[in-house]
Structure 1
Amino acid sequence: MKPGRISMTARGVASRRAAHQVLDDSPKVLDDPIAVPILGPEFFADPVRHADPRSRAFRAFMVARSRYAEDNLASAVAAGVSQYVVLGAGLDTFAYRNPFPTLRVFEVDVPAMQQWKRGMLQSATIAEPANLTFIPLDFEHQTLMSGLTEAGFDAQAPAFFTWLGVIPYLTLPAFRSTLDVVANLPTHSGITFDYSLSHDELSPRLQSAAKSLAARVAAAGEPFQLFFRSLQMDNELTSAGFQRIEQLDTIDLNVRYFANRSDGLELPAEGLGKLATAWV
């Protein structure tokens, strides 16, 4: 995404999370009472469009990755972590339904995105909590750690990070520099993120689907750049200094979050990417 522009993919992701609240049965994979209000009157959950198998699969992944990130955050808080950083926050809603009174939340995004989000929050009369800090970061002129430090982040205390829907748009040096920030924090720090698999790790059918998706996001001005093989990601995280690593594919996510659902919501057996968590 170019500086000064808002992300259409961020709006799309938010609409999928909202559709889950309206169209899918309970229990929700991600119970998010803010997902619909933040979008305001322009949100409309079209049952026909969202019933398309590809739409259902995409929706399932959007809610599963947020749920997985927040489950890992809860584990970090239980271990004493009191700082949470949402990288590329987009329209993420955790800060406005945060169940942890002592947890400080830092939302990091480009200035245009944060200005847009805060306008949407104001329009929806959703209050900005006192324990939330917005960090409008221009990565062309400021590093992540300098932006965090200026905003009151304590680099001597552990923190948990989420980084969802961002990595495919990055360069490899940008990816590694962010990993280094987290890996150099104290014990109990960690990060959850998703990433796209290299085409040579996909079946021919999924390679075709990946090319179609890449063409759509490129047409929206947000082209994919970065892909990994699963073993390559393990090596990246180990080289950065992380001590414990977990990677989940769609089969793992179905077992964890979609078993025995009455509405049949689930992920396809093969996916275009994986979720990963790394702990210091």
Structure 2
Amino acid sequence: MAILQENIVRTGKPSRTAWRVATLRAAHQLLDEPIVLDDPIALPILGPNAAAELREDPFVYNDPASRGLRAAVVVRSRFAEDELARAVAAGVRQYIVLGAGLDTFAYRNPHKAAGLRMFEVDHLSTQQWKRECLKDAGIPIPEDLIFAPVDFEHGTLAQGLAEAGFRTDFPACFSWLGVTMYLTEAAILESLRFVASLPKLSSISFDYRVPASMLDPIQQAIGKLMAQRAAAVGEPWISAFDPVLLRQQLLQIGFSEAETCEPDELNRRYLHRRKDGLRSGGRIMCARV
């Protein structure tokens, strides 16, 4: 889809994976019924030309591999936003989207009246690209949103957020979606330790890969294909975790609880008895201080 690549090339070639995730989230609005993640910004943020092309033929993102990835993308976002709603109801007023890419939550924030402050954390180049996408789409940047540039491998989350005005004396809710597989275990754990150091009521939801040895043959084949696609665009998968060991690590570094959500649980919660057979193979961990 040439038009879908136009904005990437014009604005400096940031993450192609972020662009693909955004198009899958937009395709969900057109292809799937009922909608899991109701996102009126998903199509506009792609820009008028790309959105029009996707509307004309959304089925380009309906092959088996894209369907599975699309399901995982919308389920993990819905999970994170459900966790945020729980946190806001408990009094949390800071929300941080790590590795935000073209995430749209801040531009359709349902918690504005509660005074929610939002931070988008990503590479500076990706944030510059996103600003261009927003400008092209005519989407204003909310006053309660702050961009915090951070390179997880060469900088620290704590430093990046401090420079952006984040309050470590107040609790916060974090989402970290589609990122951990691209980072080293050391970088992942450093960021998780920072979240664990925050006040009670703080939490983080993130998805992660498991080792291939824990998957059945079909899942291994799908995982191999997705890994090859990521590597082909210069974004190789690096990390994978055993869910049991990961939960133990989270408790050891200071979280009071860690909820493991396997594919069966996520499908039961968000994709139960669908006529279209949409299923997610993703895994999510929610750790709370």
TM-score (norm 2): 0.90
Q: Distance in 1 between matches of 2:124 and 2:159?
A: 16
Q: Secondary structure at the match of 1:35?
A: coil
Structure-1 separation of matches of 2:155 and 2:235: 21
Per-residue deviation, 1:139: 4.6
Cα pair 2:124 2:149 within 8 Å, conserved: yes
**Larger deviation, residues 210-219 vs 174-183:** 210-219
**Closer, same or farther: CA 9–141 of 1 in aligned 2, 3 Å:** closer
The equivalent of 2:249 in structure 1 is: 236
Distance between the aligned counterparts of 2:284 and 2:58, measured in 1?
28
Residue of structure 1 aligned with 2:24, choices 16, 29, 41: 16
- Tell me the number of residue pairs that the alignment of Structure 1 and Structure 2 aligns: 272
Please tell me the residue identity of whatever aligns with 1:219: A
Query: Given residue 206 of structure 2, which amino acid in structure 1 is its aligned partner?
Result: F
Matched, 1:196 2:209: yes
| Secondary structure at 1:278 match in 2 | strand
Which is worse superposed, 178-187 or 147-156?
147-156
Work out which of the residue numbers 38, 44, 49 in structure 1 matches 2:45: 38
**Structure 1, unaligned stretches of length 5 or more?**
none
Tell me: CA distance 1:149–1:202, structure 2 relative to 1, closer, same or farther (3 Å). Answer: same
Q: Give the structure 1 partner of residue 166 of structure 2.
A: 153
Gap change, CA 1:64 and 1:260, over 3 Å in 2: same
Deviations 1:215-274 (A, max 9, x none): 21111100111001111211221111111111112211111111233433333xxx3x41
Contact residue 156 and residue 191 of structure 2 kept, 8 A: no
Q: Which residue of 2 aligns with 1:89?
A: 100
- Contact persistence 2:153–2:187 (CA under 8 A): no
CA distance in 1 between partners of 2:226 and 2:84 (Å): 30
Query: How do 1:94-243 residues align onto structure 2 when only pairs under 5 Å count?
Result: 94-101=105-112, 102-139=115-152, 142-243=155-256
Deviation at residue 202 of structure 1 after TM alignment? 1.1
Match of 2:288 in 1: 279
Q: Return closer, same or farther for 1:87/1:251 CA change in 2, 3 Å cut-off.
A: same
Q: One-letter code of the match for 1:81?
A: V
> What's the RMSD between the two structures over aligned residues?
1.5
Give the secondary-structure state (helix, strand or coil) at the position aligned to 1:200.
helix
The one-character-per-residue Cα deviations of 1:45-77 (angstroms, maximum 9, x if unpaired) are: 334323322221211111000000000011111
Structure 2: any 5+ residue segments left out of the alignment? 1-11
